[in-house]
Chains A and B, each alone.
Chain A
Amino acid sequence: MRRYWRLYRVFWRNGFRREIEFRANFWAKVITNFAWLFFFIALVEVIYARTNAIAGWNRNDAFLLVATCYWMSSVASITFFRNLGMLPSLVRLGTFDFVVVKPVSSLFWVSFRFVNMDEIGTLIGSFAMLGYAVSRMRPLPDVEQVVEYFVLCLSGLTMYYSFYLLTMTTSFWLVRVDNLSALIDTILYMARFPTDIFRGILQRVLTFVIPLAFIATIPSKAMLGRMEWWLLPVGVGLAAFFLACAVAFWRFATTRYSSASS
């Protein structure tokens, strides 16, 4: 475990060095990502200029929701999103060979090798937004609500990682799944809206089958003190379940890997 921690610190240093090598490019990416954060703030403003609640969420609640979704997806981009996105080409070109022979867990390597620094600005921006939204809450959330929020966010991130890993692992068979990451991005786009807008079966599907609700809606509700208490253990349980499935599927897939070039 300590070895992995040390390795991960090296990955961070390495990522940072790569970014300062192409500084102009780095700033361009940071500014672009920041602009997209404003894009979504503007969308919220446009919608709330015409109404004061969407499915019971007022403007401030919506900011909390968007900030939550944004910081979670920034964390995902910084850590695993880009890395797992490269898996299909690793498999297709046979360069996955080099991963397999490294003396570390190949799953760890494939998930976390490159630290993607250009989302750092978005992360800071969305935390600022989160702070703004929370400071305007009346009454302010108590410690319990904040803890629940972060626990649920962590489970949400775990589910996100597991789902993405499950999808990307299919590349061992399907080979050409390069833009599936664009699809995952699109699905995540839906998470920026409260899942309360969906009715009936669809809402249940988005909570328990494709756990989109756990990405932002349910943690935000925990912060707002509007969540049913049983969703907390369910969230943690689902996260553990999906992670176990994803890792098992990964193990199964890698035993089937038969290189591409050699």
Chain B
Amino acid sequence: MLKRFHLWWRKVRAIFSIYFQDSLAYRGQAIVWILTDVVPAMVMPLVWLSAYNGKSAIGGYSPGEMVLYYLCMVTFTNFVVAHLMWDVATEIKEGRFSVYLVRPFSYCQTLMISNLAWRVFRLMVFVPMLALGVWIYAPHITHLRYEWGITFWLALVLGHVVSFMLSYALGLLALFFQEVFSVYNIYYIPMLFLSGQLVPIGVFPDWLQAVSRYMPFQYTVALPTEVFMGRVPDSLAWQGIGMQVLWTVLLYGLSRVFWRKGLLYYTGVGM
């Protein structure tokens, strides 16, 4: 048992280091991808700051909290939000997916580890950008009550798992359909809106907030951000974590079904 675990751990480390080096090799492109997330998130506080017009709060956020929300959100996005369906679908379409089928290691785990390597790299590159953001917005940041406890860490890690499972299941759709890229393109619309990456969920009208509670998106990055800022009472935080677990199980089940059924359709282009 221990020996098997040891073997597995060695594989994990090998995969991690390969993909970490891969990220390093394509660092120029990596920086551009990070900027595509960071630039809009860093501009939004300016939009809001010009929208208060003397009001003390919008959607329950004071100007300072609004600025802080975006800074925290964009920081967590680096770790939380996965976009791997594009890669999965491309690998399936071009037949490179076959390679993983014959390897003595699960595809899902390979993805998880490689994605993690990329996340770690991203965080490293992001730190100077965050420093710049904090420096620019420093006069507005007044909020000082942070929640570092177990609920935050759980919400953060599970947020990543939910996002990972969501994009993994979407990626496997490529086993069934040729043209999935338009589906992904449309997927980003509710995803960006309801995950809190565009505006805090609290800004939405009530009916949309209600809809959002039954979607997986706000449990990716909005939940850990709001927990971290101390905006969520403990009982609600645990409820959110419960939803994260529920969505993880559901999406994992769905991806298992896609995997089993989808492999029957997979033709292995280029073999």
Measured CB to CB, the residues of A under 8 A from B are 24-25, 28-29, 31-32, 35-36, 38-39, 42-43, 46-47, 49-55, 176-180, 182-183, 185-187, 189-190, 193, 196-198
Contact = CB atoms under 8 A, between A and B. Distances in A.
Interface string B226-239: 00000000000000
Contacts of B127: none
A184 to B, nearest CB: 10
B56 interface: no
A35 B193 CA distance: 13
A212 B193 CA distance: 25
A186 B35 contact: yes
A185 B36 contact: yes
Contacts of B204: 46
Given A25-B179, A182-B33, A47 B39 contact: no
B24 interface: no
Nearest to B52: A51
A32 B182 contact: yes
Contacts of B29: 176, 178-179
Contacts of B35: 183, 186
A198 B32 CA distance: 22
Given A179-B33, A180-B32, A186-B36, A55 B50 contact: yes
Interface residues of B, number: 32
A46 B203 contact: yes
Interface string B25-53: 00011001101100110010011111111
A36 B185 CA distance: 9
Contact of A39 (B28, B182, B189): B189
A46 B40 CA distance: 16
B32 A50 contact: no
Interface string B177-211: 00100100110010011000011000111000000
A197 B49 contact: yes
Contacts of A185: 36
Contacts of B43: 189-190, 193, 197
Given A25-B179, A36-B189, A43-B198, A182 B36 contact: yes
B51 A50 contact: yes
Contacts of B53: 51-53
B55 interface: yes
Nearest to A25: B179
Nearest to A47: B51
B269 interface: no
Given A42-B193, A43-B198, A189 B47 contact: no
B77 to A, nearest CB: 14
B238 to A, nearest CB: 29
B58 interface: yes
A11 B57 CA distance: 54
Contacts of A49: 205
A176 B28 CA distance: 9
Contact of A50 (B39, B40, B182, B203): B203
Nearest to A33: B185
B193 A54 contact: no
A214 B145 CA distance: 41
A28 B50 contact: no
Across the A-B interface, the 9 shortest Cβ-Cβ residue pairs: A55-B50, A51-B51, A28-B182, A197-B46, A197-B50, A54-B51, A186-B36, A32-B185, A50-B58
A198 to B, nearest CB: 6
B47 A183 contact: no
B227 to A, nearest CB: 23
A198 B36 contact: no
Contact of A51 (B36, B55, B186, B205): B55
B59 interface: yes
B199 A47 contact: yes
Contacts of B58: 50-51
Given A54-B50, A193-B46, 20 more contacts: A25-B179, A25-B182, A31-B182, A35-B189, A39-B192, A43-B199, A46-B203, A49-B205, A51-B58, A54-B51, A55-B51, A176-B28, A176-B29, A179-B33, A182-B32, A185-B36, A189-B39, A189-B43, A190-B39, A197-B49
Contacts of B192: 39
Contacts of B28: 176-177
A47 B47 contact: yes
Contacts of A38: 189
B192 to A, nearest CB: 8
Contacts of A53: 51, 53
A105 B109 CA distance: 51
